[in-house]
Amino acid sequence: MSAMLRYALPVLAAVGAASAQCSSSSTLTIQNAGDASALASCTTYDGSIAVATGTTDTINFASVRSITGDLSISSNNAITSVGADSLTSIGGTFTVSNCQILSSLSFPQLSSVGNIDFEGLPNLNLLGFTSNIARTGRLNIQNTFLSTLDGINLQQVNSIYIANNRLLQDISFQVSNISQSLILESNGDRLTASFPNLMSAQNLTFRNVPTLSIPSLHNVSGSLGFYENSITGLTAPNLTTVGGTLAINTNTELTNVTMDSLKSITGGLQVQNNTLLTSVVFPALETVGGATDMYGNFTQVSLPALKDNRGAFNIQSTGDLTDDCATFKAETGSSNVIKGKYTCAGKVANPGGAGTTPSSSASTGTKKSDAQTIGYSPANTFVGVLAVILGLW
C-alpha cells in the first residue's frame, strides 16, 4: 500500500462518517444538548429530526443551515428553549406542540418552512424568527400564549388556521393568494386582522374577529363566512365573485355591509341574526345560484341588479319591508328572477330562516291564511243560539 493511500483512507473514512452523521432515512432523535452539538459539521441535514419528549437541556442546532425533512418538538413538559442560529429552511413540517413550559424559539435566519404546526404552547409569548418566514404550505397556530406573530410575514401560503390564541392582538400578512383556506377563530378580544394584498382565496372564514381589513379581495372560489364577529363595518369593495356560499351571520355589532362590486354568488346568500344591521344592499349582485336566506331587523333590503335567484328566497324582518317585498314579489315565478320558494315578510315577531313561518308582531304566530275556517254544523248553531239566549238573560 502506498504512503499516499495510507493517508487517504483515514480521511475518506472521516468524510464518510461525517456524511452518515448528516443524513438518515429514519428520524434522528435528539436526547440532549450533546446530540444537537454532534451535528456541528452538518450544513444540511438530509432527513427529519425530533427532540425527545424527556429532554430537559436547551437545544441549539448551531451550524445546520437546512433540514430537508421535519423538525419536531412535541409533548415535552420540561424543555424551555430550542434554537438554530443558522437554519434558513425546513423542507418538511416544523412542529412544536404540547410543550408546557417552552418559552423561547430562536430561529433568526429561518425564512422558508414546508408547514408550520404550533399548538398547546401556554408559555410561548414571542417568536424568534427575525428574518421573517415568507413561505410555507400550511400555517396552523392554536392555543398558544403568543401576543404577536412578528417573524411570520407570509407572501406565499396554501392554508392558514389561527385559533384560540387569547393574547394575540395583531395578524397582518402580505399574501396575495391563499390556494386553500384561511380560518381565523377566537383569538384576542382586540384583534386586528389585516390582509392588504389578498386578492383571491378558496375558502375564508372569520369568527370572533373585532377588526378586519380585506380591501383587495376580488375572488373567493369557495365559501366566504363572517360569524359571531364584533366588527361594526364589513367592507370588501373589490369583491366580485363568491364560488360557494356568502354567509354574514350573528355579528352583533355589525351596522354596515359594503360589497358594492359583488356580482355573482354560485352558492347561497345568508345574512342572518345581525342585531344592529338595518340595511342590506348589494347594488351589483346579479346571480345567486343557491338560496337567499335573510332574517333580522331590516328596514331595507335591496338587490336592484338581481337577474337570477335559482334557489329559495326568504326574507323576514321585525322592520317594515312592505315596499321591498312588493318589489321582490313581482320578480317571482319559475321563468322569472326568483325561481324557488318565496317568502318575504316584515313586521315579524320572531323572524327566522328558510322553512320557518313568519308571524306578524301583532299576532300569536299563525297567519290568517293558515287559520281553520269554521263551517256550518248543528252543533255550532246550537252553541251560537245558546250564547245569544244567555246574553239576553
One domain, residues 112 and 253: no
Same domain, yes or no: 222 and 93: no
pLDDT of residue 360: 75
In a domain, 299, yes or no: yes
Strands (E), 217-268: 219-220, 224-227, 233-235, 241-242, 246-249, 256-258, 264-265
Report yes or no on 101 lying in a domain. yes
Q: Within a domain: residue 44?
A: yes
State mean pLDDT over 24-43.
Answer: 96
User: Tens digit of pLDDT for each residue in 293-342?
Assistant: 999 999 999 999 999 999 999 999 999 999 999 999 999 999 999 999 99
pLDDT one-digit tens code per residue, 43-54: 999 999 999 999
Query: Pick from 168, 189, 210: which residue ends a domain?
Result: 189
Same domain (yes/no): 356, 237: yes
The reply to whether 165 and 228 lie within a common domain is: no
- Mark whether 105 and 226 lie in a shared domain: no
Q: How far apart are CA 353 and CA 272, in angstroms?
A: 8
Q: Total structural domains in the chain?
A: 2
In a domain, 279, yes or no: yes
Clarify whether residues 229 and 81 are in a common domain. no
In this structure, the answer to whether residues 344 and 258 fall within a common structural domain is: yes
pLDDT band at 383 (very low <50, low <70, confident <90, very high): very low
Short-list 237, 193, 186, CA closest to 211: 193
Could you identify the residue written with the cell 321563468? 335
At 240-298, the pLDDT tens digits run 999 999 999 999 999 999 999 999 999 999 999 999 999 999 999 999 999 999 999 99
Question: Do the beta carbons of residue 149 and residue 171 sit within 8 Å?
Answer: yes
* Inside any domain, residue 14: no
Question: In the predicted model, what is the mean pLDDT of residues 66-83?
Answer: 98
| Res. 21 pLDDT band, cuts 50 70 90 | confident
Within a domain: residue 165? Answer: yes
Q: Are 299 and 293 in contact (CB under 8 A)?
A: no
pLDDT of residue 19: 53
Tell me how far apart the alpha carbons of residues 389 and 258 are, in angstroms, rounded to a whole number: 66
**How do residues 282-292 score in pLDDT, each as one tens digit?**
999 999 999 99
pLDDT single digits (tens) 356-372: 999 876 433 333 333 33
Q: What is the domain extent for residue 245?
A: 218-367
Name the more confident of 17 and 317. Answer: 317
Task: Characterize 102-139 residue by residue with b for buried, 16 or more Cβ atoms within 10 angstroms of its Cβ, and e for exposed.
Answer: bebbbbeebbebbbbbbbbbeebebbebeeebbebbbb
Same domain for 248 and 349, yes or no, is: yes
Q: Which of 189, 209, 228 is the last residue before a domain boundary?
A: 189
Could you read off the pLDDT of 97-148 as tens digits, one per residue?
999 999 999 999 999 999 999 999 999 999 999 999 999 999 999 999 999 9
Indicate whether 169 and 232 sit together in one domain: no
**pLDDT over threshold 60, residue 204:** yes
Is 66 within a domain? yes
Per-chain mean pLDDT for the chain: 90
Tell whether 100 and 53 lie within a shared domain: yes
What is the separation of C-alpha 147 from the centre of its chain, rounded to a whole number of angstroms?
19
Asked if the model's pLDDT at residue 238 lies above 80, the reply is: yes
Q: Is the pLDDT of residue 95 over 80?
A: yes
pLDDT of residue 127: 96
Residue with the larger pLDDT of the pair 160 and 3:
160
What is the pLDDT at residue 192?
98
pLDDT at 18: 46
Top pLDDT among 210 and 21 is at 210
For residues 125 and 228, membership in a common domain is answered with no
Compute the distance between CA of residue 170 and CA of residue 187 in angstroms, rounded to an integer.
Answer: 9
Q: What is the pTM of this model?
A: 0.86
What is Dmax (Cα atoms) for the chain? 140
Asked if residue 73 has pLDDT above 90, the reply is yes
Mean pLDDT of 2-21: 49
Which among 256, 145, 248, 152 has a CA at the least distance from the CA of 206? 248
What average pLDDT does range 56-77 have in this prediction?
97
Residue 241 lies in a domain: yes
Phi-psi category of residue 190: left, alpha or beta, with phi > 0 → left and psi -120 to 50 → alpha: alpha
Same domain, 176 and 230: no
